[in-house]
Structure 1
Amino acid sequence: MRALPLCLLALMLTGCSLIHKPYQPITPLPASKTTPAHKVTPRPAPVKIYTDTTDLLSKPFRDLGEVSGEDCQISTQDSPANLNTARKRMQIKASSMKANAVLLHKCEIITSGAGCHRQAICQGSALKVSSQ
């Protein structure tokens, strides 16, 4: 009876060793034939956040529209809603509108949002600030 587990163990160890292929080193391609595997996408331009309108008084700017960002905590087991994540998503949306600044109106955490246990929301105006 003791021989059966030993035979099964020996069979499993030899069966696994037959699966492996012999080692073959990888040879690099010549430099002329190498091409990038994926297209490099440019990073979005950084978007500055203004919290006070007096910072914009001496700068010419154009209002591109309202932007908002949100972070949702669906259940109590999920990670909590974060204002920094909502603010970053607002900046990404503003960058897609070709804005280089956002005038922040408000950031708040709502506890009774639709479909969310807690929700962080940031709202602002996307701006194109000219450097003069």
Structure 2
Amino acid sequence: MRFIPLCLLALLLTGCVHEYHPISSATPATQHGSEPARKPAPRPAPVKIYTDATDLVSKPFRDLGEVSGDDCQSSTQDSPPNIATARKRMQIKASNLKANAVLLHKCEIVTTTAGCYRAAVCQGSALQVTDQ
């Protein structure tokens, strides 16, 4: 009598172990079990942050425009806004403009942002600095 529940349990576990293969329109390469080679997503170029304008005095550069980044705390229960996250988002936006540097104007925590309880906001200028 104990044999039947054990068999049913083993049968159920075997069904859960079976690998799931969704039905999709496969290319000829994937029909034979080999995955096509995927290129990794390109990483944004590193963007250096300058906090003092005097560091740029002897370097030629081109101003590409203003960039900003923010990190929003939607409510009091959410994690607090992070200035490092806002700075990183500003760097990513500068990288999208093909900048290799940002002159940081300010980073601060504000409570006047619409839709946010509090927000970390960083603002700066995206620059293309030429090394000599």
TM-score, normalised by the number of residues in structure 1: 0.78
Match of residue 7, structure 2, among 11, 14, 32: 14
Aligned to 1:124: 124
Aligned to 1:39: 39
Residue identity (%): 67
Displacement, 1:39?
Answer: 2.5
Q: Determine helix, strand or coil for the equivalent of 1:18.
A: helix
Aligned to 1:88: 88
Cα 1:12–1:88 change in 2 (3 A) is farther
Q: Determine helix, strand or coil for the equivalent of 1:128.
A: strand
Task: Give the number of aligned pairs.
Answer: 115
Q: Determine helix, strand or coil for the equivalent of 1:123.
A: strand
Deviations 1:25-53 (A, max 9, x none): xxxxxxxx6642x3212211100000111
1:72 aligns with 2:72: yes
What stretches of structure 1 move > 6 A for 4+ residues in a row? Answer: none
Q: Determine helix, strand or coil for the equivalent of 2:69.
A: strand
* 1:98-117 aligned within 5 A: 98-117=98-117
Aligned to 2:55: 55
- Looking at structure 2, the residues matched to 73 and 13 of structure 1 have their Cα atoms a distance apart, in angstroms, of 52
Cα 1:72–1:18 change in 2 (3 A) is same
RMSD: 2.3
**Structure 1: runs of 5+ lacking an equivalent:** 1-6, 24-32
- Looking at structure 2, the residues matched to 12 and 65 of structure 1 have their Cα atoms a distance apart, in angstroms, of 70
Q: Determine helix, strand or coil for the equivalent of 2:114.
A: coil
TM-score, normalised by the number of residues in structure 2: 0.78
The structure having more radius of gyration, on CA atoms, is 1
Aligned to 2:29: none
Displacement, 1:15?
Answer: 1.9
Partner AA of 1:46 in structure 2 = P
Displacement, 1:111?
Answer: 1.9
